[in-house]
Structure 1
Amino acid sequence: MHVSFEEAQIITAAAILKAQEIDTQMCIAVLDSGASLKAFVRMNNAWVGSIDIAIKKAKTACLFAMPTGQIGQLSQPAGPLYGIEHSNEGLITFPGGLPIVNSDGILIGAIGVSGSSVENDHIVALAGVDSVGLADVPEHPWRT
């Protein structure tokens, strides 16, 4: 099951609205459950460098069904996932990427947001996810 085109539009619209509310310019990527790009938006004046970061945040959240900030905590030196950011042709392990889970608890995709502080990136990503689903996935063996 994948996030639909219509859901991807709702997600990006909600994320854009939140970015405007907090007065920031973002790159917003929505991927389906196969980690393929479903929708992408680069707001006016959003950093070009944030394009790749947003996509990789979404990819990271999708491939591991975890928020990127949580993976970042687990990937610190001596952590169980240390070095994971070097896998899968590059991952991003700081906040701003969230899995998109439907009401049945099934991963249907992910969102990645980049363009401001990681706190703002997370806030905007959460607004996108909240518009169609839940950010929490069933219990994961690496969760702390």
Structure 2
Amino acid sequence: MTKPSDRESTMLTIRRIDRNDARLLIEGASTRAAEIGVPMCIAITDESGNLVAFERMDGGKITSITIAIDKAFTAAAAKKATHDYGTTSQPGGPTHGINSAVHGRLMVVGGGLPVIVDGDVVAGIGISSGTPAQDQECAQAGIDHFLAKRG
């Protein structure tokens, strides 16, 4: 049996976005939201689901503030798109009832996507105020813009 003192100590290297990256995600998402004419609430979290940046576009719904933040939290912390949980969380599904986990923060409605760079989840983006399809479209636009700008 190996004693803790006999093992080599290792440190984890965590990849996460910074504020400038978060701004790129918001820029791409808000541009798409303006194009489709739906003012959105846009949340960006780090890889563990902690809020890094938030924007409520003029006209974004007040109720969408918390929803967008929780979509970004879910996408980053669970490393899974929120719409995937929507499918699997239905009665009889493998994740039925998961939306009540983590004090009700896990979202099962489309609009939350993990941001993946070189195979690592580095952030989450959550969008709310439109339909789930519109929210998801704007989240993807934010990711596409971010990836294009970072080279």
Normalised TM-score (structure 2): 0.85
- Runs of 4 or more, structure 1, over 3 Å off, are none
2:73 equivalent in structure 1: 59
CA distance in 2, matches of 1:29, 1:97: 9
Which protein is richer in helix relative to its size?
2
Q: Which has the larger radius of gyration?
A: 2
CA contact (8 A) 1:101 1:133 kept: no
Of residues 10, 16, 34, the one that matches 2:30 is 16
Deviation at 1:83, TM superposition (A): 0.5
| 1:114-142 superposed Cα distances (whole Å, 9 cap, x missing partner) | 001111101000001112249xxxxxxxx
What is the 5 A alignment of 1:73-84?
A: 73-84=87-98
What is the 5 A alignment of 1:107-126?
A: 107-126=121-140
Count of aligned positions? 133
How much is the aligned-residue C-alpha RMSD, in angstroms? 1.2
Q: For structure 2, which runs of at least 5 residues remain unmatched after alignment?
A: 1-14
- AA partner of residue 109 (structure 2): F
CA distance in 1, matches of 2:98, 2:116: 23
2:112 equivalent in structure 1: 97
CA distance in 1, matches of 2:131, 2:68: 13
Identity among equivalent positions (%) equals 37
| 1:51-97 superposed Cα distances (whole Å, 9 cap, x missing partner) | 00000111111121111001110111011100001111222101000
CA distance in 2, matches of 1:35, 1:133: 20
